[in-house]
Each structure stands twice: as C-alpha cells, then as structure tokens.
Amino acid sequence: MISYSYMDSIKNKVKNGDTLDENEIVSLYDSANLKDLGKLARGITDEISGNKVSFVSNLILNYTNICNVRCHFCAFYRKQDDSDAYTLSIDDVVNEIKKYYEPYGIKQLLIQGGVNSFLNLDYYTGLFSRIRDEFPGLGIHGLSTSELHFISLKAHVPVKDLLIKLRENGLQTIPGAGGEILDGSVRKKMGRPESSGKEWLDIMEEAHKLGIHTSATMMFGHLETSMDKAHHLLSILELQKKYHGFLSFTPWNFEPGNTELAREGYKYRTGGISVIKNIAIARIVFNKELPVIQSSWLTNGMQMAQMAILFGANDWGGTIYDEKVIPATGKQVGNLRKEFIINSIKQINMIPVERDNMYNSIKTY
C-alpha cells in the first residue's frame, strides 16, 4: 500500500499543477487506495465542472468492416471476400443518418470503419461534403488515425494536406480511436505495426497544429503494464500542453469476445474496480490540462458509467445508435435514449447538460 507521506506528496504536486512522473503514476495504479484516488480525482473535476455532467445525442456509423490491419483485439474486421463483409455507399450512409437526425436531434456523427484499401480519397471527400450539406447541424467526428494514415498513403497526399482537404469537405473533429496503448512493443503483440503509436501521436499533433480538435483514448485490460499506461497518459499530456487540441479523454476496457487476443489467452474483461481506477488516475494525471474525461458506457454499462462520474469523469458520452464494433465481440449494447442518460445522471445527484460535438452546452436539464 502506498504510504500516507507519498500520497500526500502526490496530492501536493496535483494541487500545484505539477506533472506526476511515471513512477508516481505506477504507484497510483499498483498501490493507492481506491477511495483516495476517487476523492482526489473527483475533487479536481468538481473544480473544473462542478456537478454538471455533459452528454451528446450522437450516432455511430461504421461505414465499412473491411480492414487490412487485423488487430488481435478487434472482432469487427472482415476480409474482402468474407460473406458478411460490407461497405456502405454514400447514399446508404445518408439514408441511415436520415433515420435519426431529426427524430432524435442528433448533433454528432462518429463515423469510422476498417482500413479499406478499396476506397479512395474521393469516397471520403464525397461522403463528408454530402453529410455536411444534408445535415448542417451535425458535427462530423470522423476517421481513426489508422484510416487517415492509409488514405494519405494511398492518395499520395501528406497527412497535413489530407486533413485540410477533409476539413474543407466537412470533417469537424477526429476521434481518438487507434490510441489503444501507445507503446510499440505492446502494439506489436496486439498485431499492430510497432510504429503505429508514434503515428497516432504524429497525426494528432498535425491536426492540433491546424486547429482541428481531436479526442484521446486508452484501451486497458489486456497485456499492458501499469508503466505502459503511465507512459501513454504522459505522452498525451505532453502533446496537450503544446496545443490543447484534445477535447476529451476516454479510457475504455478491452472486450475480448471473438478476438485473436482471447484465443491467445486474454479471455476475460477487466472488472469494475479497474474501470474506475483508470478514470480516476487519468483525471489526476491530466489535472486541469485536459478538462473532459468521458465515461464510456458503451463498454462499461450504465451503472459503471455512474460510478465513473463519481470517480472523476464529467462527460457521459453519447446516445449511440447503430454501433457495430462492440456487438461484434458478442456483448449486447443497444441504444440509449437521451431520457435514460438524463435520468442516470440525475440519479447520482448531478446536473445533465446536453452538448454538441465541440463540447458547447446546448441545454441543461
């Protein structure tokens, strides 16, 4: 167990806005008392956003499941000739959005898919400009760094120019997908190129330099160590201090069902304590530099999302219609109507605030 004096020195550093070092973060993961973590983390969040908890009415659209990367932690991807492989046409995507845009007041479209070598840059520019024109109130939160990296290579367009072109056609923000754990050796074991962690940071930095905001994520509960997570958080913090381009951070737990990692022996999802510990430590490490920590109900469920708020998160996430990545693991997700989110936030004596894709408040309930 971490000593009182060591925990006090960490609390003092946090209070003074000093960055924790990697060994201090590892101590928080391995030896700190969970209640101490929660109290410290929630205290920081209270100073940032008080008892307000934001959420967004969103739609997740996975436009293709064909992917040439084939990560060992992913149950979603298919090969081109698999019977259930699919790619949505631009018309398909538009028709899908129409089902939700007006009836549910959708404000954010999270659109991402596999790294599909059959699609050209024209598909993406055509897709985004059509969505922007037909659904002017929708913020397009699109494409993982893996997709962006591949599109840039295939089109022979540098990432910077690609981002400018996509923004001109309607892309508003970039999700944090592809972050997982940034360490190269962990990524290699997960079936990712070793350099893909640096690639994630480089693309995020390029976006932030252009003034394009992005999200950050971390996937935990597989073969990573506490030190890997400490390095991951510190890499994100370092970039955040340069441009303040990350709008939010979402730690989410690995879902093993139907994945290569499960076949390799990583069969069980991590428990609730790990979920709230990761939320609390993220808040403590990011302190006020990265104001929004999101409680991902998609992988953790509604009750854990409530616990995550009490341990330092201040954004619920979205309503999520039609997501296909987590259901591919065998986990049932469903959709969450706005009313349920509002009720869940009120159940823990917090104030629900609906927001848009850029985290601007729309309505307080």
Q: Which residues bind ligand SF4 (CB under 6 A)?
A: 67, 69-71, 74, 76-77, 114-115, 146
Residue 204 three-state SS: helix
CB of 20 to ligand SF4, least distance (A): 30
CB of 234 to ligand SF4, least distance (A): 24
Cβ closer to ligand SF4: 77 or 252? 77
253 close to 300: Cβ distance less than 8 angstroms = yes
Cβ closer to ligand SF4: 25 or 67? 67
CB of 150 to ligand SF4, least distance (A): 9
CB of 72 to ligand SF4, least distance (A): 9
For helices 272-286 and 34-49, give the axis angle rounded to 10 degrees.
50
DSSP at 221? S
Retrieve residue 239's tokens.
Answer: 């970039």
CA distances (Å), origin 165, targets 141, 162, 174, 204, 339: 15, 5, 14, 16, 37
Chain-centre distance of CA 214, in angstroms?
A: 9
Residue 226 three-state SS: helix
Which residues, in sequence order, are bridge partners of residue 283? none
Cβ closer to ligand SF4: 74 or 342? 74
Cβ closer to ligand SF4: 24 or 199? 199
CB of 351 to ligand SF4, least distance (A): 35
| Sequence-separated (6 or more) residues with CB below 8 Å from residue 173 | 139, 140, 141, 142, 212, 213, 214, 215, 247, 357, 358
Which residues, in sequence order, are bridge partners of residue 217? 250
Cβ closer to ligand SF4: 105 or 257? 257
β-strands 108-111, 139-142 pairing: parallel
Cβ closer to ligand SF4: 115 or 309? 115
Cβ closer to ligand SF4: 47 or 82? 82
CB of 352 to ligand SF4, least distance (A): 31
51 close to 101: Cβ distance less than 8 angstroms = no
- Side by side, the strands of the sheet bearing 361-364 are 315-318, 52-56, 351-355, 361-364
DSSP 88-134: --HHHHHHHHHHHHHHHT--EEEE-----TT--HHHHHHHHHHHHHH
Cβ closer to ligand SF4: 69 or 216? 69
CB of 221 to ligand SF4, least distance (A): 15
DSSP 265-302: T--S---HHHHHHHHHHHHHHHTTTS--BB--HHHH-H
CB of 319 to ligand SF4, least distance (A): 22
CB of 178 to ligand SF4, least distance (A): 7
Cβ closer to ligand SF4: 246 or 254? 254
d(CA 171, CA 165): 9
